[in-house]
């Protein structure tokens, strides 16, 4: 806990050469925008001091990015609330540009497609090949 703030930053990306950092709030489902925004605001307030404490430098450029699944329901939730876009105006293209060449501060929502859609089997081990014996004799 720092200055009364609770929680943890989900993901931090930092580039000391340009003194830029991005903090990411990863949400699998946007159920309460108000709660999500409150937590993200708290993380933004402490991000620079946490980065300075852990990495030894203070960012000049800071991005705060809410990462959501690229689903119709999440896009609909974002589109119906002008408050969300007012607080997090940058979209996918703006975020990509900022990550490639950080300049100034950025606040945005990044919709990412799930690379392993629900219902698909994820293989955690390498495939094993089963070969038949080359000779006609059964093996014990």
pTM: 0.75
pLDDT digits (tens, 9 = 90+) for 45-91: 999 999 999 999 999 999 999 999 898 888 888 887 788 889 999 99
Section 109-131 average pLDDT: 65
Domain ranges in the chain are 11-112
Q: What is the DSSP-derived secondary structure letter of residue 31?
A: S
Section 100-128 average pLDDT: 75
Section 22-42 average pLDDT: 87
At residue 42, φ and ψ (nearest 5 deg) are: -65, -40
Q: Please give the pLDDT value at position 129.
A: 57
d(CA 75, CA 130): 45
Highest mean pLDDT among 21-30, 71-80, 103-112, 122-131: 103-112
Q: Please give the pLDDT value at position 131.
A: 60
Q: Which two tokens stand for residue 83?
A: 């408050």
How many Cβ atoms are within 10 Å of 23's Cβ, its own excluded? 23
């Amino acid at each position: 806990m720092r200055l009364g703030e609770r929680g943890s930053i989900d993901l931090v990306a930092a580039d000391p050469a340009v003194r830029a950092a991005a903090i990411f709030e990863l949400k699998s489902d946007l159920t309460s925008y108000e709660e999500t925004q409150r937590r993200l605001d708290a993380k933004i307030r402490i991000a620079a001091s946490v980065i300075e404490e852990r990495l030894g430098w203070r960012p000049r450029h800071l991005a705060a990015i809410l990462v959501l699944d690229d689903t119709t329901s999440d896009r609909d939730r974002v589109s119906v609330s002008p408050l969300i876009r007012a607080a997090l105006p940058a979209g996918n293209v703006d975020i990509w540009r900022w990550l490639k060449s950080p300049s100034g501060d950025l606040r945005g929502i990044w919709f990412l497609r799930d690379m392993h859609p629900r219902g698909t089997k994820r293989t955690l081990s390498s495939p094993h090949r089963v070969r038949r014996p080359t000779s006609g004799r059964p093996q014990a």
